[in-house]
Amino acid sequence: MAYPILLRRATLAGGALAFALAVDFATKWMILNLVMLPPRTIEVTPFFNLVLGFNTGVSFGMFREVFLDRPLLLAAIKLAIVAGLLFWAARTPKPLETISLGLIAGGALGNVLDRMRQGAVIDFLDFHVGRWHWPAFNMADTMIVIGVVLLIAGSYRPGRSMRPSQQPRSGAGD
């Protein structure tokens, strides 16, 4: 693999990862330091609230009991997943796939850092219909979902490649 291509892929994936982390950190900081002082439910629309939650489980609080006393175990598993996503991003020839994987990795890393610093992930986006509430989530989760949607969408259309163009060589026998 040529060095400039690897550098281009790393820049795309790293930029997407940095964007996801920046959005996640900024929104969580605002929620903790400005919006939720004191913690409460803020009705934004008839179907959306801002809340303050701390998720000690995996997605949507699943397996909370397993990881409650071992938050670093879940962080280690997610760090391994982030490393795998970045390895994949470095190897894919499609720019959209590289960006998608960077967003997913950035979202996952944002939640890992929460878990390592606080033992739980900060969630604050609460969508609901009547009394039925979707589990609260955050912008890191949103970046993961956007990344997955882009990854799936990109798999349905041929993307331009970051590989060097392979021109037919003219040989002596032409």
Edge-to-edge strands, sheet with 121-129: 42-45, 48-55, 121-129, 132-133
> Would residue 168 count as lying in a domain?
no
> Would residue 161 count as lying in a domain?
no
Q: Could you give the residue numbers annotated as active site?
A: 123, 141
DSSP readout, 39-78? ---EEEETTEEEEEEEE-SSGGGTTHHHHTT-HHHHHHHH
> Would residue 162 count as lying in a domain?
no
> Are 108 and 85 within 8 A, CB to CB?
yes
What one-letter code names the amino acid at 22?
A
> Would residue 57 count as lying in a domain?
yes
How does pLDDT run across 17-76, given as a tens digit for each residue?
999 999 999 999 999 999 999 999 999 999 999 999 998 866 655 566 666 667 677 778
> Would residue 174 count as lying in a domain?
no
> Would residue 65 count as lying in a domain?
yes
- Note down the domain range covering 22: 3-155
> Are 117 and 32 within 8 A, CB to CB?
no
State how many domains the chain has: 1
How does pLDDT run across 113-172, given as a tens digit for each residue?
998 888 789 999 999 999 999 999 999 999 999 999 999 999 887 656 555 544 444 444
Cα torsion 110, 112, 113, 115: sign: positive
> Would residue 54 count as lying in a domain?
yes
> Would residue 70 count as lying in a domain?
yes
How far apart, in Å, are the Cα atoms of 84 and each of 47, 61, 62, 105? Answer: 36, 23, 22, 9
Task: With both helix axes pointing from N to C terminus, report the angle between 139-155 and 3-30 in degrees, rounded to the nearest 10.
Answer: 140
The pTM score is 0.82
Half-sphere exposure of 143 (CA within 13 A, CB side): 26
Q: Measured between alpha carbons, how far is 58 from 111 in angstroms, rounded to an integer?
A: 10
Q: Measured between alpha carbons, how far is 54 from 33 in angstroms, rounded to an integer?
A: 15
